[in-house]
Amino acid sequence: MARPKIALIGAGQIGGTLAHLAAIKELGDIVLFDIAEGTPQGKALDIAQSGPSEGFDAVMKGANDYADIAGADVCIVTAGVARKPGMSRDDLLGINLKVMKSVGEGIAKHAPNAFVICITNPLDAMVWALREFSGMPHNKIVGMAGVLDSARFRHFLSVEFNCSMRDVTAFVLGGHGDTMVPLARYSTVGGIPLPDLVEMGWTTQDKLDAIIQRTRDGGAEIVGLLKTGSAFYAPATSAIEMAEAYLKDQKRMLPCAAYCDGELGVKGMYVGVPTIIGAGGIERIADIKMNAAEQAMFDKSVAAVQGLVAACKEIDPSLA
Ligand code: APR
């Protein structure tokens, strides 16, 4: 059987890391696409030359023409710019919205059956715009945020409890940004919910609150340290986890920015919710019940995403 084809739209920091991870995990043959000439070709060649040591056979190709992504099974989108000092959120929105238009049209024309994972920020608005511009089915276009936010939460919790990250499960809902909603009640260590661990004296509510805030600020903390860029290792790993769930029909339950049609009280927009990813793309959304405090946080997060979508419609009236 032919290997699956994975197209990476954007060959920057995350794109290059995605290519390397996909090759090492032998998920398929890889096309790195970018508007910058030479960058995808150079990264493809560099990664291909790690094949003999790693022992993978994936074919790596760099491209500047959308025709090269033809028939891709998975597309992962990182094309765009990251927010730079002095740039407003609206400036960023305007620039990346234009990028989503060209990417959405390119994917729809050349890889209309692909499962598409968007990483470009501001995530919840960009994945919505990408879906609108491509016209592809909602269940095949999804945003990567919750897996990363949950991974950050799980990492911080494992340090606090001095236990394996594998035994920490965590649950983060809502938009990808300051208003994301980490749900302590649904987050566990070996099945023990976090509020119980507070009662058991394993941690304090203050420490837990600080960890939740650090999770919310997870991206900004790394930008502050790197100074010239944003996180790329963990974002790439998170998207690869989602791509693998689709390609191998794993039916993983992963928090993703998915299109809600009434689930969790959200209609007609993308927001972070618990989903099942398998060969059908987003196969199911878990319509969980929240308590009043959680619902209030979630509503605030949904309103923030609605604001971004409204700004997109103002910038590009064809989306209205
Ligand atoms: N089509 C294709 N590629 C594009 C386009 C376009 N229209 N516009 C820009 N690019 C490419 C750039 O040439 C660059 O190589 O997108 C790439 C982005 O790479 P980086 O700047 O290194 O950004 P990265 O760290 O990979 O993050 C990408 O993911 O997490 C988000 O906020 C982050 O939006 C950003 C995105």
**Residues 259-309: tens digit of each pLDDT:** 999 999 999 999 999 999 999 999 999 999 999 999 999 999 999 999 999
Give the distance (Å) from ligand 1 centre to CA of residue 68: 18
Mode of pairing for the β-strands spanning 29-33 and 5-9: parallel
Task: Say what the ipTM of the complex is.
Answer: 0.99
Q: Could you identify the atom of ligand 1 that is nearest to the CA of residue 231? A: 25
Q: Residue 217: CB partners within 8 Å, gap ≥ 6? A: 178
110 is catalytic: no
What per-residue confidence (pLDDT) applies to 82?
82
The reported pLDDT for the residue numbered 177 is: 80
**Distances 59 to 22, 46, 50, 291 between C-alpha atoms, Å:** 11, 12, 12, 49
Q: In whole angstroms, what is the distance from residue 160 CA to residue 167 CA? A: 13
Q: Could you report the per-residue pLDDT of 153-191, keeping only the tens digit for each?
A: 999 999 999 999 999 999 899 998 888 898 999 999 999
Q: Are the beta carbons of 94 and 122 closer than 8 angstroms?
A: no
Q: Is the CB of 32 under 6 A from ligand 1?
A: no
Residues 20, 110, 155, 176: which is the catalytic one?
176
Confidence at residue 7, expressed as pLDDT on a 0 to 100 scale: 99
- Residue to probe by mutation, ligand 1, list 81, 124, 127, 228, most atoms within 8 Å of CB: 81
Does ligand 1 lie within 6 Å of residue 230's CB atom?
yes
Ligand 1 binding pocket includes 118 (Cβ within 6 Å)? no
Q: What is the pLDDT of residue 151?
A: 97
What pLDDT does 103 receive? 98
At 90 the pLDDT is 74
Q: Check pocket membership of 10 for ligand 1, CB cut-off 6 A.
A: yes
Low-confidence ranges of the chain (pLDDT < 70): 85-86
Distance separating alpha carbons of residues 200 and 210, to the nearest angstrom = 18
Domains of the chain: 5-144 (3.40.50.720), 146-313 (3.90.110.10)
**How much distance in Å is there from the Cα of 78 to the middle of ligand 1?**
5
